[in-house]
A and B are shown apart, each in its own frame.
Chain A
Amino acid sequence: MTVSDDLTARVRAVIAETFERDPASLPAEPDVETIEQWDSLGHMQLIEALEAAFEIEVAHGDSVNLLSQSAIVAHLQGRLGS
């Protein structure tokens, strides 16, 4: 498993936990359109969960663009240097 794969797996775990989904049931590329619970309130909860899991703070200007797993992973790679 690469570092990127590991990060993706961690993000998937946070998404699954936030939206109370079985990680195995998530689509390959979960996003706001494919996860029913990922609405504006769910998005706030997800950002909070990501902040806690990765011990970072996400600026509001960044958070509104984190609308898919890949966008979150890319953002975290930039932040965490992985």
Chain B
Amino acid sequence: MTQVYQQDFFERSAEARPDAVAVDDHGATLSYGALEARANRLGHLLRDLGSGPNQRVCVFTGKNANMYAAVLGTLKSGGCWVPLSEAYPQDRLKFLLEVLAPKALVVEAGTLEAAKAARDALGADIPLLLLGEDGQGGAGADLGEAEVARQSDSRPARADCSPDDLAYIIFTSGSTGTPKGVMVLHRNTAQFLALCPDLFDIEPGARFAHFSDLTFDPSVFDLFHCWARGGALVPFNRRQYRINPGLFIREQQVNVLFTVPSVIASLADSGQLGDPALAGLRHLLLTGEALPPRLLRLWYDAYPESRIYNMYGTTETAIISHCHRIPSDYDPATPVPLGRPLPGTRIMLLDGERPVATGEIGESVVYGSQLSPGYWANAFQTDAAFVANPLEPSLPQKVYRTGDLLREGDDGLHYYVGRADSQLKVRGHRVELGEIENALMQLDGVRDAAVAAVSLSGGGYDNRLVAFVRGDFGGETDALNRHLSDRLPSYMVPSRIVPVLEDMPRSPNGKIDRQALQRLAADALAGQRA
């Protein structure tokens, strides 16, 4: 059976191994058969609520079996899942509900209140479906477990959909001040998931960490490649694990972890590398931040039998466009390659509209089977980023200008150089500094705002944000901090806000001098730590 739709990657294993463990949440296990039946029931209910091809269902739960059933149920209803994060403030939730107009909002006890507040503030008629034990009596939601239980366990008839329909939408930070919803089609995600067995050769039945929030697309790999391999999905959902990820790997016997390099840096800095209890982690996939060569060496010295992959991509290219297995004899004196584009993905390195020569730096411009069609309900941003092929403008296929600067080495491999704009990664999340600056500028009295990022290690994998603000707010930064916390996810709230009395540092042409700002930001953070 060719796997065309995202749910196919689960359903094939559910048919082949219904009794195998699909989810292991700290010993509370759910078999493939049980998850399939629950997702089928949800699929029927969501379809009754109007879900179907290209209709949105918002999933607003923690990382647990409710989330997995909601994602699969949405797909089985023919619809498109959209994750909402518990880190989102109410304004962002309200904005997302407004632009998405979902057919349902799936919640659990911990998110019900925030969901209701956002929906009621919007005045929208979006049904709230409460899952989990608290969903038995409704508890203020429109629908609950009772309505789910009344549905059939049988798989819903496949909706009249096509691989060109939406599988999911993930929102990322936007430079204009509003988040952008990246639309990913079934054929985009199926193309990537179909490549995974050859890329990683992960043993069937392995224990995969569900590490990233569902709003960060490596989680698509976590869920669907895990299930495609008949593996057990292990949610990273306890606070103690955030402080000490080594505990998670040890206690939950994780074999596959797709994460950011700072997690591995934390293991190294806390002296945990070499612990034999971590040796079960055989596949380490790293993305989202620059990968420090010393970390590779430290890891391989401790665990020479494991495999490390450097992964690179954007949400617009369905998770990753490059994957490179780093050999265990890797020389840390050499830069870490991103590798070659995946089959089906084409990359041009351009300086403006001119291809650069081997060894020169160019912006990565992508097209191919994994490329998203654009941003949800945002033609302006779509048209700005998804453009005609500058080398062959007559071709109908659009290309995506990533804003990432790469270089092709003599070895034919691509190497990451940096960003062409002010986008960066904080704790693995994509952040546009402009979105934070816009949020600050909305506050009465703020005349000017600029944000800089500082990597404490210099390696780019542990960025901290510092905001510089000028205006009549009496130098009181607490109010500014509260204002940002109400509007932005927590990872976008700066570590430090510095009042500026006169003017921002500026270059001779009057633009904000970002380099000078970065130096000031480093000083501000150093002062805070002293």
Binding site for B on A (CB under 8 A): 31-33, 38-40, 43, 59-61, 63-65, 67
Contact = CB atoms under 8 A, between A and B. Distances in A.
Contact of A61 (B239, B240, B271): B271
Contacts of A33: 238-240
Interface of B: 238-240, 242-244, 246-247, 266, 269-272
A35 B266 CA distance: 23
A63 B272 CA distance: 12
A32 B244 CA distance: 11
A32 B270 contact: no
A43 B243 contact: yes
Contact of A32 (B239, B269, B272): B239
Contacts of A43: 243
A64 B244 CA distance: 5
B243 A61 contact: no
* Among A33, A38, A64, A67, residue most surrounded by chain B Cβ atoms (within 10 Å): A64
Contacts of B247: 64
Nearest to B238: A33
B315 to A, nearest CB: 24
- Sorted nearest first, the 4 A-B pairs with minimum C-beta distance are A61-B271, A64-B244, A61-B270, A32-B239
Main secondary structure of the interface of A (DSSP, over half): loop
A32 B271 contact: no
Nearest to B239: A32
B269 A40 contact: no
A65 B244 contact: yes
10 contacts: A32-B239, A32-B240, A39-B239, A40-B242, A59-B271, A61-B270, A61-B271, A63-B270, A64-B270, A67-B240
A31 B270 contact: no
A31 B243 CA distance: 12
A70 to B, nearest CB: 13
Contacts of A61: 269-272
A65 B239 CA distance: 12
A59 B269 CA distance: 10
Nearest to B271: A61
Contacts of B269: 60-61
A60 B273 CA distance: 13
Contacts of B239: 32-33, 38-39
Contacts of A40: 242-243
Given A32-B239, A38-B239, A67 B244 contact: yes
Contacts of A65: 244
Contact of A67 (B243, B266, B271): B243
B242 A31 contact: no
B112 to A, nearest CB: 17
Contacts of A60: 269-271
Nearest to A33: B239
Contacts of A59: 271
Nearest to B427: A40
Nearest to A48: B529
A80 to B, nearest CB: 22
Given A64-B246, A67-B240, 18 more contacts: A31-B240, A32-B240, A39-B242, A39-B243, A40-B242, A40-B243, A59-B271, A60-B269, A60-B270, A61-B269, A61-B271, A61-B272, A63-B270, A64-B244, A64-B247, A64-B266, A64-B270, A65-B244
A40 B247 CA distance: 14
Contacts of A38: 239
* Among B243, B246, B271, residue most surrounded by chain A Cβ atoms (within 10 Å): B243
A42 to B, nearest CB: 9
Nearest to A63: B270
B397 to A, nearest CB: 43
A75 to B, nearest CB: 14
B497 to A, nearest CB: 15
A31 B266 CA distance: 21
B243 to A, nearest CB: 5
Contacts of A39: 239, 242-243
Contacts of B242: 39-40
Nearest to B529: A48
B426 to A, nearest CB: 13
A45 B269 CA distance: 18
A64 B269 CA distance: 10
Contacts of B266: 64
B302 to A, nearest CB: 14
A16 B238 CA distance: 21
A15 to B, nearest CB: 15
Contacts of B243: 32, 39-40, 43, 64, 67
A33 B247 CA distance: 14
